[in-house]
Amino acid sequence: MRRLLIITISLLLFAGCKKDQVNSLNVRIENFMGFSVDSAFLVYDESGYNYGEIAAGNTTGYHLYESLIDDPAVYFYKNGDQFLAGPILAPPLSAPTHLANGNYTVKIFPDSSLLGGYNAEFIKE
């Protein structure tokens, strides 16, 4: 009986644990522009992954990366014209920082304080 009680308690403790740690780097893009974009690419993504068309207010699926520089700059296209959301940082004097493993959303949105008129930010989930 005691053995059954120990097994039951162990199972209850194990079932109550949740694994919150993500062992990969997953990024998606959320469009807060007020208009659809025809395609979107992260500036520092060496693979050139195309997130495709993103309707206003929509979010893409996640894309898995091995490593990604911690700068949320995004190139997007609308009606054949290329735009930049987010600042492009000057090359650092030392190695650039990279995102830690986890799930991230890059939010792209209008921002009149930037020359291009659009900004981007990483949001860790």
Query: How many domains would you assign to the chain?
Result: 1
Query: What is the residue range of 75's domain?
Result: 19-124
Q: Which residues contact 21 (CB under 8 A, 6 or more apart)?
A: 101
> Is 72 inside a domain boundary?
yes
pLDDT for residue 94: 77
**Integer Cα distance of 63 and 49 in angstroms:** 8
> Is 25 inside a domain boundary?
yes
> Is 5 inside a domain boundary?
no
> Is 94 inside a domain boundary?
yes
> Is 14 inside a domain boundary?
no
pLDDT for residue 43: 93
> Is 4 inside a domain boundary?
no
**Integer Cα distance of 27 and 37 in angstroms:** 17
More reliable by pLDDT, 89 or 1 = 89
End-to-end Cα, the chain, rounded Å: 44
pLDDT for residue 5: 43
pLDDT for residue 23: 86
> Is 2 inside a domain boundary?
no
**Integer Cα distance of 55 and 71 in angstroms:** 23
pLDDT for residue 112: 94
Q: Which residues pair with 124 in a beta bridge?
A: 104
Q: What is the CATH number of the domain that holds 111?
A: 2.60.40.2890
pLDDT for residue 95: 82
**Integer Cα distance of 104 and 55 in angstroms:** 19
* Strands across the sheet containing 39-42: 39-42, 74-78, 81-85
Q: pTM higher than 0.85, yes or no?
A: no
Q: What is each CA distance from 121 to 37, 45, 56, 69, 74, in whole angstroms?
A: 17, 15, 17, 13, 10
pLDDT for residue 35: 97
pLDDT digits (tens, 9 = 90+) for 16-67: 444 455 789 999 999 999 999 999 999 999 999 999 999 999 999 999 999 9
